[in-house]
Amino acid sequence: MRYFRAPSCALRAALFVCLIASVLVATDRTTQAQSELRRTAIVKAVDGARWSVVNIHGQKLLPIDQSVPNQGSRAVNGMGTGVLIDQRGYLLTNFHVVDGVKRIQVTKADGQTTVAKLIARDRATDLAIIKIPQDDELHIAPLGTSSDLMVGETVIAMGNAYGYNHSVTRGIISALHRDVPISETQQYFDLIQTDAGINPGNSGGPLLNIEGKMIGLNVAVRVGAQNIGFAIPVDQALEVAAEMIREHQQSSNSYHGVVSELRVVDGQHQCHIVQVESDSPAQHAGLRAGDVITAVGERTIRHPLDLELAMMGQRPGEELAITTARSDSAEPIKLVMGTTPASGKWSDVAYQTWQVAGLRLMPLAGDLLPRGAQRYRGGLKVTEVRPGSPAERENIQEGDILVGMHVWETVSLENVGYVLKQPEFDNNRPVKCFIVREDRTHFAYLPLRTR
């Protein structure tokens, strides 16, 4: 009979340590597997976008009773959300979030609070751009497109709901192309409807797809209803943001003369030039309508917003290298920034339209017109009406679309310039204008000469 010695104490201890180590390794592997299972597509989407979302808060004064004049005002704490669109600190939000707020306080995802400055606003579309100090830690929102949205697809809303910072809700796209009246003076067009929880304070925050890309900007809820919220499609919001920045740049006496629009080709954003203004830096540089701008300097351009942000802050006389996808242009085009056309030059169609009629206009492609007006090839969106002007007296409003004057269509500012040159229209014989508002065409009569 053979006998085996029992393991020594040292050997038993070593075996025990090996057993514990194998258990710990197996437990760690199980924990890792569980963690990966828990990191769903929604979790990853939120992780990728949350650092580009900020919370906005501040006080504004509201009338005690709007139905009774001269009843004084009361201070109300406002709240909302914003999305970073540029490393220099530019944010996109809703205008109603910052309207009337003297001190716009912004809290970033890391908890730091700073004060923002209102840069530009478009009351008709309820959008605004604000700016916080530049910071190397700022993260830009991942942008998607609203051109291929599907009813039923998963979406995620982020924002400052009821003051709860960076709240996240999820849902689906319930419907597309919703027109939503808010009041007698405010109406939204072509909105995304979602059942993701959108609450007071969510306004200006992103609506994300399952890839974590922003496909809308949350804007409104249906009062008294459950699970009915709305967002501005991201393509529409960014087009307006680009125009706001362009106008802000021109007001700072810096000018390039490119009018561009977003086109989505094979799911990719492209910045197409639709107009090169006469006698502008862009025209002198050799840019043409139809060019696709792909870069300004080392900055990649995929959207008109990218283009305007690249031009933002450039001073007259500074040279920029513009790269286009034009087949006969292998080398970058050199564009020298100019000064905004002198306000006294009647050759400036935009200025003359502002001075005579009181309108500031922005080109709008036919596929962006309200559904009831898509029989027109395009139009000029009213972005501002001068107080006391003929346009205001004719009740033309921000957001209206000028689609024709007399017997001519108005797809571009050049069309307006042609009408302005016609000698038959004066204060005694104003021109008949065709205005689209809320899917209906209205008429207005504007003089084209000063007395």
The reply to whether 406 belongs to the active site is: no
> Which entry of 96, 256, 269, 303 is annotated as an active-site residue?
96
Q: Could you tell me if 395 and 420 lie in one domain?
A: yes
pLDDT of residue 200: 87
SS3 content of the chain, % helix, strand, coil (to 5): 25, 40, 40
Give catalytic status of residue 96 as yes or no.
Answer: yes
DSSP 19-79: HHHHHHHHHHHHHHHHHHHHS-HHHHHHHHHGGGEEEEEEEEEEES-TTSTT--EEEEEEE
Runs of H (alpha helix) within 120-213: none
Please tell me whether residues 191 and 216 are part of one structural domain. Answer: yes
Residues 399 and 325 both lie in one domain: no
What is residue 345's predicted lDDT score, i.e. its pLDDT?
Answer: 40
Q: Which of 57, 86, 122, 126 is catalytic?
A: 126
Distance CA 83, CA 104 (A): 14
The total domain count for the chain is: 4
Based on the domain organization, do 319 and 401 belong to the same domain? no
23 part of a folded domain: no
For residue 95, what is the domain's CATH number? Answer: 2.40.10.10
Q: Which two tokens stand for residue 188?
A: 């939204």
Within-domain flag for 108? yes
Q: Same domain for 62 and 119?
A: yes
- Domain boundary residue, one of 336, 362, 390: 336
Q: Give the CATH number of the domain where residue 353 resides.
A: 2.30.42.10
- pTM of this structure: 0.68
Strands of 246-325, DSSP E? 258-265, 268-276, 292-296, 299-300, 319-324
Digit-coded pLDDT (tens) for 120-159: 888 778 899 999 998 878 999 999 999 899 999 999 999 9
Residue 7 belongs to a domain: no
Whether residue 192 lies inside any domain: the answer is yes
Residue of 52, 146, 167, 203 with catalytic role: 203
CB 82 within 8 A of CB 93: yes
The pLDDT assigned to 425 comes to 73
For every one of its 451 residues, what pLDDT tens digit does the chain have, with 9 covering 90 and above? 444 444 555 556 555 555 665 655 555 665 666 578 888 999 999 999 999 999 999 887 666 655 555 555 666 778 899 999 999 999 999 998 998 888 899 999 989 999 999 888 887 788 999 999 988 789 999 999 998 999 999 999 999 988 888 899 999 999 999 988 876 667 888 999 999 988 888 999 999 999 999 999 999 777 666 789 999 999 999 989 998 898 888 777 788 999 898 888 887 889 999 889 888 999 999 999 889 999 999 899 999 999 999 998 888 899 999 999 875 556 789 999 988 775 434 346 777 788 788 888 888 776 677 766 667 878 898 888 887 788 888 889 888 899 999 888 898 888 888 888 877 776 567 889 999 887 788 888 888 764 4
Q: Considering the domain boundaries, does residue 183 fall inside one?
A: yes
126 and 159 assigned to the same domain: no
Judge whether 194 and 225 are in contact, CB under 8 Å: no
Q: Give the separation between CA 301 and CA 309, rounded to whole angstroms.
A: 10
Per-residue pLDDT, 34 = 58
Determine the pLDDT at residue 346.
36
Catalytic-residue membership of 126: yes
Co-location of 166 and 225 in the same domain: yes
Residues 388 and 442 in one domain: yes
pLDDT at 64: 61
Q: Using the 3D structure, point to which of 236, 267, 299 is the last residue of a domain.
A: 236
Q: Angle between the 304-311 and 234-251 helix axes, to the nearest 10 degrees?
A: 20
The answer to the question of residue 32 being in a domain is no
Residues 186 and 125 occupy one common structural domain: no
Length of the chain: 451
Phi, psi (rounded to 5 degrees) for 288: -135, 155
DSSP assignment, residue 307? H
pLDDT of residue 13: 59
Q: Does residue 274 fall inside a structural domain?
A: yes
| Residues in a beta bridge with 14 | none
Supply the range of the domain harboring residue 365.
349-446
In terms of domains, do 207 and 292 share one? no
408 and 438 in a single domain? The answer is: yes
Residues 434 and 353 placed together within one structural domain of the fold = yes
Q: CA geometry: angle at 19 spanning 15 and 20, to 5°?
A: 120
79 within domain boundaries: yes
From 209, 236, 263, the end of a domain falls on 236
